[in-house]
Structure 1
Amino acid sequence: MSTLQKLSELEAHKSAIQNGYDEAAKKAVLDKGKLTARDRITHLLDENSFVEIGAFITSKTTACKGEKVQAPADGVVCGYGTIEGNLVYVYSQDPAVLGGSIGEMHAKKIVKTYDDAIKMGAPVVGFIDTVGLRLEESIEALNGYGMIFGKMSEASGLIPQISVVCGDCAGGVSFITGLSDFTFISTKNGQMYLNSPNTLEDKKASFDTVAASNVHLSQSGLAHFGQADEQVLIGEVRNLMSYLPANSDDEAPCYQCVDDLNRVDEALNQFDFEVANAKDIVTSIVDDCTYVEVSKEYGAKALTAFARMNGVTVGMIANTEKTVDLQAIEKITQFVNFCDAFNIPLVTLSQIERIESTVETEKSGIIKAASKLAFAFANATVPKVNVILKEAYGMAYTLMNSKHLGADYVYAWPTAEVSTMNSESAVKIMYGEELEQATDKVAVMNEKIAEFEATHSSVYAVAAHGYIDDIIEPAATRKRVIAALEVLYTKQVASTLKKHPTV
C-alpha cells in the first residue's frame, strides 16, 4: 500500500472517529440545545489551536447489553490548545457516545490529560456531560474514577482546575466538580447529584429540588457560575481564565493598565451606606470599573471577585451586608485559599457587625467554618490589604483580614468604627448599674457613649494602637490600595517546615 493510500486510510479513521456517532444519540443532544463535545472545545480555545491526544483510543469492552457498539475516542475528546495564546489542557465528554459514560480507557485519557498539564504547568478545563459509571466495565470503571480523583488531588493547588457541567453529572462523577477550583453549569441542561432523587428517603425530592443548577448555584455552593446558553457560558470560562495564572509558580497575570492609577472618585466622600452597597465601592476602585464575581448567588452577604488594579489580578472580598453567615464564611474561605495558592493578592473591604448565628448554623458547624476562615487569612502569604469602611465589630471584624490576623496594610475611612461591639451595647454592659441608678438615664447614656467612642471605638484611637496603618480619604481609596500593592510586590514570607496544616 502506497503512502498516499496510507494517508487516505488515516483520514478515513479520523473521519470515523469524529463523525462516528449514533445518529439518534447525536440528534438527542442537539435537540436539547447542547453543543457537541468537539464544538465545546472549539468555542473554548483560540481558533485552530486545538491538538487532540488519544483520538484512536477506544474501550476494551465494546459489548454493551449484548450488542457490539462503536465508541469513538471512548466518549471523551482530550487534548490541548490556547486561550488568548496561553496553554490550556481540555477534555470534553461526549454524551452521543455511550452516554459519555466513564470506563477504563475513558478515565485513562482524562488522567493522561492531567499528567501532561501538571508537567507543563497549565490549567485544565473539563466539560462534564455523562450518565456516570459504565456498568459493563464494573471494577475497571471504578478504578478509573479513583485514578481521576487521585490525579485531581495531585493537581490541586498546582494548576487551576475548571469544570463545566453541560448536562448530567451523576453519581461519583460529581466529585470531579467538588475537586475543581471553579465549576460552571448550564442552567438549561446541567444537573448534579450524588444519588438520584427517586432513591432518597424524602418522597418529595425531585431533580428540581436536588439536582438543578439553581440548587448548586445558590444553596450548595458547588457551582460558581451559570448561564443558559452554552456559548455564553464558555465565554465566561475564557474570561475567568484571563484573570488566573497558569500554575502556582506563576505570578498573578498582569496586563497593560489604561485606567488612571491615581483616579479619585469624589462620590466616595459622600458614600451613603444606607442606600449604596460595597459592590459600588469595588466598581469604583478597580481598573475600568470591571470585575468578575464568583458565586454571586451563594453566600450573598459577601462579595468575592477577581479584578485588576494597575493591570494585575487581585482577589476582591467585600461585606455586602452588616452580618456574615455560614455560606458567606465558606465562600470567602475557599476564595482566600485559592488566591493564596496561586499568588493572587487579596484586597478586602470590611464593614461588618457580627457573625449571623442560628440554632441550625450552630448545629451545621459555623464555629469550625469561622475557624477555617481565620486560618485561611492568617495562613495566606500573598499581599493582603484591608480597608475598613464603617462598622467593624468583634470577632466578625477580626476574621475579615484584620491586622490581628496578619494583614500587611490596614486602612480606614474616617467613617470607620472599630470595637468589640457597638457603643450602645458596650455602655449598657459596662455601666449597667450606674445607668439604672441615674436620674436622667438618657443624658448619662449619651455621655458614656461619647466617652466610649472617643477612647475605644474611635478610628483614631485604634490607629493609635497600631491596628490601622492610615486613615484615608475615601475618594483616594484606589490609588492608596494600588500603592500598597506595589510596595508588597516583592513580599516574602519564611515558611515553617511542616508537612501540611490540619485545619
Structure 2
Amino acid sequence: MFLRQASSSSRRFLPLIQKTSSSSSTSSSSLCTGMMGQTQKVNFSTQLRGCLGNKGPTVIDTSGVMDLPDRKSPSDILRSLQEKVDAVKKEAKLGGGLERIEKQHQKGKLTARERIDLLLDEGSFREYDAFVRHRCTDFGMEKDRPAGDGVVTGHGTINGRLVFVFSQDFTVFGGSLSETHAQKICKIMDKAMEVGAPVIGINDSGGARIQEGVASLAGYAEVFQRNVNASGVIPQISLICGPCAGGAVYSPAMTDFIFMVRNTSYMFVTGPDVVHSVTRETVTSEQLGGATTHTQVSGVAHRAFDNDIELIRFTREFINLLPSSNRDNAQSRLLTPTDPVDRKDYSLDHAIPADTNAPYNMLTGVIKPIVDDHEFFEIMPDYAKNIITGFARMNGETVAIIANQPCELAGVLDINSSVKAARFVRFANAFNIPIVTFVDVPGFLPGTAQEYGGIIRHGAKLLFAYAEATVPKITVITRKAYGGAYDVMSSKHLRGDYNYAWATANIAVMGPEGAVKIIKGIEGENQKEREDYYRSKFATPLLAAERGFLDDVIKPHETRQRIIEDLEVLRTKKKENPQKKLANIPL
C-alpha cells in the first residue's frame, strides 16, 4: 500500500511550567517583592509585565521546573502519528465490524474487500481514500462516521493488466450511497478515463443514504455523468453481488456488461413493498428483480452465476478479451495463438441439414469449430436465444461474433434479438473489435405482438448499428438470408468488408413457400416442384455472387483460414463516417 510518509522535520513543543510555592496554597501565582518590602501575589501569565512595573528586584518562583517530563523525540512523535494512521486503516478494513461481516457470510456473500482480493492479482491492489468519512450531521449521524464511508476504491491488476475498481460495503450503512461515497467512486472513474483502463464496479447497496437527502441524489447524478462520459472510452463492467435498488440501478444500466448472482443479487427501481402498495401485486425480490428475471426476461443483465466466487472468476477471464480503452488497437490485444491458422474442421461440411427447414445448432456446429481452441464467451446466452452474441479469438485476436440460431425460433429476428445484437455491435465498434457475422435468418418475426411492440423501430437499431460500424466486418451466410433480414445482417450493402456464402446458402426476397404463392408461371406440376424450381433459380448464392454482393462462395472447412487471413488484411483499415455531432439512432 502506498503510504504518504510524515515530514521528517519535528515541531518544538514548549513545556508548560507548573508554578508551585511552598509558602502559598495556589500554584498559579508567584511572588514579586518591591523596594518597600511589600510582597505581591501576581498571576503567572502576567508576572513579567507586572514585575517590570515595580521598582524593586523581581523574584520568580521556579520550584517544580526540574520535575517536568522529558520531551518526546522526533522518532517517538512519528511513531505515534503512524500508529494513528494504522488505527484508521484497521478501522476501514473492518467495515461495519465483525458481527456484520459474519451476517454477510451467512447470506452466502463475500465482503467488499474479499471480492476485491479475489478479483485482482495477489498483492496488486492499491487503495485510495480509506480515511474518508461522511459529513452528515443530521439524525445523529455525526456520532457514527466509519472510515471509508461504505465503499472501497482503488486500482490493481488482472492478469497483469491495470483496472480500476470500487466495491460497495453492505456492512457499513447497508452500502448506501452518500455524498462522499459517490465522490470516491467518481474519483477513480475520472482517473480510469485519464489513463485508459477499465472500471469494474461491485454493487452491494441498499440505495441512497436517506439521512443525507438531496446530497445523496446529487452523488448519484455525478456517478451517472461519469458513466456517460466513459461510455465508448473505457470498458465498464458491473458486478451485482447484492441489492441494487432505486436510483442505484441506473449506473449499472449504463455500463457495458452486467453480471449478477442468483438468489443474492437484485435490481429494481421500486421494491416488492412499494409494488404491492401501488399495484396490489405480491411479488418476491427474486421474482421482481433477481438474476433469473434480468437474464431471461428483461435482458437487463448479461450473465448469471451461482455465487460471488464463480462470478469473479468469470470476470477475470472475460477481461482478457477486452481492450483497456478505445485507444487500443487490435495488435495490442493479440495473444500468442495456440491453434493453427490452417486448421480445417471437416465437420463443418456436414453442419447444414439437407432439409432447409431443419434446425441445427449454430454455436456448437459452426462457431466453435471455427474459433481458436473451440472457446466462445457468450454474452446474454439466456435472453433472445434466437441470436448469438459473444467473444472469441481468431489467431489470437479478439473478435465479436453475432449469429442467428436456427434451433431457436428458426433464427428469426424479433424485437429482443434485434436490440440484443445492436447493443453488442455498437460495443464492438466503439472499442475497435472486428465483427464476424454468421447468417441463417428466414426474416423478421410476423404478428401483431411484434408490430404493436415496435419491431420496425427496434429492428432498425440493428440495421443502424451495422451500418455505422467502421471496424472490420466479415460475414458468412450458411443457409437462409431472406428479405430485409438479409440486408440487416451485415450485408455487403452495409459496407461489409468481406462477405462469403457456403454452397448451402439461400439468398432471396423470401422463401420458396411464399414466393410460389405470389409469382405466377413458376414451372412445376405441384407445390414441391415449383418450390424446388424457385430455390434452384433464385435462392442460390450464385445469383448474389454474380452481382458482386458476395466476394466468394467458399467451402465450410476453409472458413477459419479465410477469416483469419482477412483479419490480417483489415488490421490497418481506416474508415470514418461523415462528420457529425452524433447519430440519431432510433431508440
Q: Report the TM-score range of the alignment, normalised by the length of the smaller protein.
A: over 0.9
Task: State the 1:202 CA deviation.
Answer: 4.8
TM-aligned CA deviation for residue 486 of structure 1: 1.1
Report the counterpart of residue 438 of structure 1 in structure 2: none
Could you tell me which runs of 5 or more consecutive residues in structure 2 were left unpaired when the two chains were aligned.
1-75
Number of aligned residues = 496
Match of 2:309 in 1: 231
Q: Give the 3 Å change call, closer, same or farther, for CA 307–62 of structure 1 in structure 2.
A: farther
State the match for 1:283 in structure 2: 368
Q: CA deviation at 1:251?
A: 1.6
Counterpart code for 1:279: L
What is the distance in 2 between the residues matched to 1:53 and 1:472? 55
Out of 512, 518, 533, which is 1:423 matched to?
A: 512
Matched with 2:118 is 43
1:62 Cα deviation after fit: 5.5
Counterpart among 246, 249, 265 of residue 345 in structure 2:
265
After TM superposition, the structure 1 stretch with the greater mean CA deviation from structure 2, 164-173 or 321-330, is: 321-330
* Aligned equivalents of 1:23, 1:245: Cα separation in 2: 39
1:443–1:496 CA distance, 2 compared to 1 (3 A): same
Provide the C-alpha distance between the structure 1 equivalents of 2:386 and 2:528, rounded to a whole number of angstroms: 32
Cα deviation code 1:467-486 (max 9, x no counterpart): 11100001111111111111
1:363-385 per-position Cα deviation (integer Å, ceiling 9, x unaligned): 22221111111010000000000
- 1:359 and 2:448 correspond: yes
Which of these residues, 169, 173, 185, is aligned with residue 244 of structure 2? 169
For 1:371, the equivalent position in structure 2 comes to 460
Match of 1:302 among 374, 387, 394: 387
Distance 1:447-1:216 versus aligned 2 partners, 3 A rule: closer
Alignment correspondent of 1:139: 214
Aligned to 1:219: 297
Residues 89 and 123 in structure 1, CA contact (< 8 A), matched pair in contact too: yes
Output the CA distance in 1 between the equivalents of 2:442 and 2:163.
43
Q: Aligned partners of 1:285 and 1:167: how far apart in 2?
A: 38
Give the deviation of 1:320 after TM superposition: 0.8
Task: Name which of 329, 332, 350 aligns with 1:251.
Answer: 329
**Structure 1 contact 413–474 (Cα < 8 Å) conserved:** yes
**Structure 2 residue 174 is matched with structure 1 residue 99:** yes
The alignment yields a C-alpha RMSD, in angstroms, of 1.7
- Judge conservation of contact 1:183–1:223 (CA < 8 Å) in 2: yes
Correspondence list, 1:278-357, <5 A = 278-280=362-364, 281-321=366-406, 322=410, 323-357=412-446
Distance of 1:384 and 1:20 partners within structure 2: 49
Residue 459 of structure 1 and its aligned partner are, at CA, apart by 0.9
Displacement, 1:442?
A: 5.5
Q: Is the 8 A contact 1:300 1:328 kept in 2?
A: yes
| Worse-matched range after superposition: 455-464 or 179-188 | 455-464
Paired with 1:25 and 1:110, the residues of 2 have a C-alpha distance of 23
CA contact (8 A) 2:295 2:304 kept: yes
Q: What SS is found at the alignment partner of 2:238? A: strand
Task: Quote the Cα distance in structure 1 between the aligned partners of 2:577 and 2:483.
Answer: 29
Deviations 1:425-444 (CA, angstroms, capped at 9, x unpaired): 2122011xx58xxxxx9516
User: Is 1:52 equivalent to 2:122 in the alignment?
Assistant: no
Q: Contact (CA 8 Å) 2:492, 2:549: kept in 1 or not?
A: yes
CA distance in 2, matches of 1:196, 1:71: 28
Q: Which residue among 158, 174, 193 is the counterpart of 2:268? A: 193
Q: In 1, are the aligned partners of 2:428 and 2:435 still within 8 Å (CA)?
A: yes
- Which TM-score applies when normalising by structure 2? 0.82
Contact 1:177/1:222 (CA < 8 Å) preserved in 2? no
Map 1:72-151 to 2 at 5 A.
72-151=147-226
Give per-residue Cα distances to partners, 1:212-238, cap 9 Å, x unaligned: 110001111111111112111001111
The answer on 1:470 being equivalent to 2:545 is: no
One-letter amino acid matched to 2:360: A
Question: How far 1:192 sits from its partner (Å)?
Answer: 0.5
User: Is 2:266–2:289's contact at 8 Å kept on the other side of the alignment?
Assistant: yes
Q: Tell me if structure 2 keeps the 8 A contact 1:184–1:233.
A: yes
Superposition deviation, residue 355 in structure 1: 1.1
Unaligned runs of 5+ in 1: 436-440
CA distance in 1, matches of 2:132, 2:296: 39
TM-score by length of 1: 0.95
Alpha-carbon deviation of 1:16? 1.5
Larger Rg computed on CA atoms: 2
Shift of 1:204: 3.5
| Alpha-carbon distance, 1:449 to partner | 3.8
Task: Please give the per-residue CA displacement for 1:395-447, whole angstroms capped at 9, x wherever unaligned.
Answer: 1121111112121111111000100011232122011xx58xxxxx9516556
**Are the equivalent residues in 2 in contact too, given 1:124–1:159 (CA < 8 A)?**
yes
Counterpart amino acid of residue 375 in structure 1? F
